[in-house]
Amino acid sequence: MIDPSIQPALTDDEWIAAYEPEEMASLGFEAVHSELVVAADHGRWHQAMAFANAALPHGDSRKLTWDHVQWLREEAALDFHDGRVAQGRRKMALAALIVALLPPPQLSGLQF
């Protein structure tokens, strides 16, 4: 179950645009020498977090991925099955927060 109050950091179209430098600039961000430069709009920090995570190299242990979400959901299912409802809910909530920072699964393999 995904918490509907947690909105994705970017829409699918914004994720697609992020892979094109001129489109990324239209979103208020700029990549300079592989470093993310964030516009001063403080309402965009959630998006900056998503871009920063996406910019980490594949295999970097700091990078949040769909594998983390899957693991958390599987662990939550075990908690629910074993009657540890509160623990299961916490894991599902954490999974929802991570999902909000990830590009859609079909775009997850792309690199900035």
pLDDT tens by residue, 44-89: 677 878 888 888 888 888 999 999 999 999 999 999 999 999 999 9
Q: Which two tokens stand for residue 56?
A: 């980490």
Q: Which two tokens stand for residue 37?
A: 């430069």
**Which of 2-5's residues contact partners 24+ apart within 8 Å by CB, and which partners?**
2/96, 2/99, 3/93, 3/96
| pTM value > 0.75 | no
Going by pLDDT thresholds of 50, 70 and 90, the confidence category of residue 40 is: very low
Taking the domains of the chain in order of start, what are their residue ranges?
12-103
Q: How many residues does the chain have?
A: 112
